[in-house]
Amino acid sequence: MSNLPITITVKLLAAYQEAEGLSELKLEFPKETPLSQVLERLSADRQQF
């Protein structure tokens, strides 16, 4: 099995897109990262989420 990190793409719409100035976010995580940690990172990095 590969130990390559996974990349998660979050598509932004409407107000989130305007606030970030981007149409999507790309986040990289180690392969076995639980969803709870992904959500924690999103909310910590961006207060509007």
Residue 28 within a domain? yes
pTM of the model: 0.67
Structural domain includes residue 11: yes
Q: What's residue 48's pLDDT?
A: 59
Residue 20 has pLDDT above 90, yes or no: no
Q: What is the mean pLDDT of residues 27-46?
A: 91
Alpha-carbon distances, residue 43 vs 3, 4, 39 (angstroms): 26, 24, 6
> Is 14 among the domain residues?
yes
Structural domain range at position 12: 6-45
Domains in the chain, number:
1
What pLDDT score does 42 carry?
87
> What is the pLDDT at residue 49?
61
Cα 10 to Cα 23: distance, rounded to the nearest angstrom:
9
Q: Would residue 1 count as lying in a domain?
A: no
CA distance linking residue 49 with residue 45, whole number of Å: 9
